[in-house]
């Protein structure tokens, strides 16, 4: 009987020790892969917006979560290799902020969840089966609104009624929807539209040379990560040539572009954190509906306009959500 009690006591003690060891084991820190076409500098505000969204949900980088950043530095061809790096790290979720990044992540994994903040038309690109039920390992928030390209042309014409020739800076690898909307708006506004393809920094110089030769009155940029990466160079040349411009998000206007109109991109990145949170808590990307933009903003850089001798129509100024003076 004593032996039996001793045996039971030993078993109980071992169970207690095992429980104690398990209690002392540190919890696994979730790892988020962040695949970025640009650089830490060009994407700083969006990285901060995403981090802010995480903080609001209780996640602090290097404390209870780890973010693995990978930057393509404006060279999209680097992204497949960077995506494969994140897969080898066995991250819990990959954040891919644009079409090129999502495509690279999609090729690298069919199992790790992928969240996109601001991809244009994810259904057409085959990333999700539908907005309501994505159906795979990819979901997120879309900024798809090609009709806004036409709206930007209308605002540009209303702000500067005298324009008749507009250059359109675009990456030829993106879907043609936005350019078609720009063309349609140009025809209705009696504006001659010229497509100028941008793949690298040299193409930016070529585009501005073409606009000088053709006496362009203004230019617009179609939304694309590669153009955003080159925005400093683009806006420097725009200032030199005294060319007004309109763009798809406020970063351009804040950096010296005359006008921007589009979805609130920073809000989209903050919202992306909620998708990451749900996935880390067990939700399946296949069952998380893709969110569409609901908040749009018109930003006018009056200071930039004055520097190149422009006067913006008071009607347009009155509608601005933000005026930089």
In this predicted structure, the answer to whether residue 19 has a pLDDT above a threshold of 90 is: no
Reported as a pLDDT band with limits 50, 70 and 90, residue 26 is low
Residue 110 CB neighbour total at 10 angstroms:
10
> Could you tell me what percent of the chain has a pLDDT over 90?
69
pLDDT single digits (tens) 272-319 = 999 999 999 999 999 999 998 888 899 999 999 999 999 998 889 999
31-144+265-295 and 147-263+297-324 agree in CATH topology: yes
Encoding tokens for residue 60?
């602090």
Sequential DSSP letters for 150-204:
HHHHHHHHHHSTT--EEEEEE-TTS-SHHHHHHHHHHHHTT-EEEEEE-SSHHHH
pLDDT single digits (tens) 145-172 = 767 888 999 999 999 999 999 999 998 8
**This prediction's pTM:** 0.75
Q: Residue ranges per domain, the chain?
A: 31-144+265-295, 147-263+297-324
Calpha distance 300→253 (Å, rounded)? 6
Gyration radius (Cα) of the chain, Å: 25
In this predicted structure, the answer to whether residue 112 has a pLDDT above a threshold of 80 is: yes
Q: Which fold has domain 31-144+265-295?
A: Rossmann fold (3.40.50)
Give the burial string for 181-208 (b: 16+ CB within 10 Å, else e): bbbebbeebebebbebebeeeebbeebb
pLDDT single digits (tens) 52-64 = 999 999 999 999 9
Q: Which fold has domain 147-263+297-324?
A: Rossmann fold (3.40.50)
* Rounded mean pLDDT, 101-108: 96
Sequential DSSP letters for 273-308:
HHHHHHHHTT--GGGSPPBPP--EEEEEEHHHHHHT
């Amino acid at each position: 009987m004593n032996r039996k009690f001793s045996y039971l006591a030993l078993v109980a003690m071992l169970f207690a020790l095992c429980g104690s060891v398990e209690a002392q084991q540190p919890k696994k820190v979730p790892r988020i892969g962040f695949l970025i076409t640009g650089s830490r500098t060009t994407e700083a505000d969006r990285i901060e917006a995403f981090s802010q969204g995480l903080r609001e949900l209780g996640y602090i980088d290097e404390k209870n979560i780890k973010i693995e950043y990978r930057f393509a530095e404006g060279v999209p061809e680097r992204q497949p290799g960077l995506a494969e790096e994140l897969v080898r790290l066995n991250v819990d979720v990959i954040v891919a902020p644009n079409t090129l990044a999502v495509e690279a992540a999609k090729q690298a994994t069919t199992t790790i969840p992928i969240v996109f903040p601001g991809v244009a038309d994810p259904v057409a690109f085959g990333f999700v089966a539908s907005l309501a039920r994505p159906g795979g390992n990819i979901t997120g928030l879309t900024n798809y609104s090609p009709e806004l390209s036409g709206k930007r042309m209308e605002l540009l014409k209303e702000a500067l009624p005298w324009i008749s020739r507009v250059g359109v800076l675009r990456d030829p690898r993106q879907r043609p929807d936005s350019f078609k909307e720009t063309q349609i708006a140009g025809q209705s506004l009696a504006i001659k539209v010229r497509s100028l393809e941008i793949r690298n920094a040299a193409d930016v110089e070529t585009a501005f040379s073409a606009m000088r030769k053709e006496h362009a009155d203004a230019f617009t940029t179609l939304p694309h990560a590669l153009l955003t990466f080159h925005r400093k160079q683009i806006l420097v040349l725009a200032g030199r040539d005294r060319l007004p411009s309109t763009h798809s998000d406020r970063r351009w206007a804040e950096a010296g572009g005359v006008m921007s109109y589009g979805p609130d991109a920073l809000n989209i990145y903050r919202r992306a954190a909620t998708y990451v949170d749900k996935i880390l808590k067990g939700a399946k990307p296949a069952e998380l509906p893709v969110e569409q933009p609901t908040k749009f903003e018109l930003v006018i850089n009056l200071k930039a306009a004055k520097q190149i001798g422009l006067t913006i129509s008071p009607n347009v100024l009155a509608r601005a959500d933000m005026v930089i003076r």
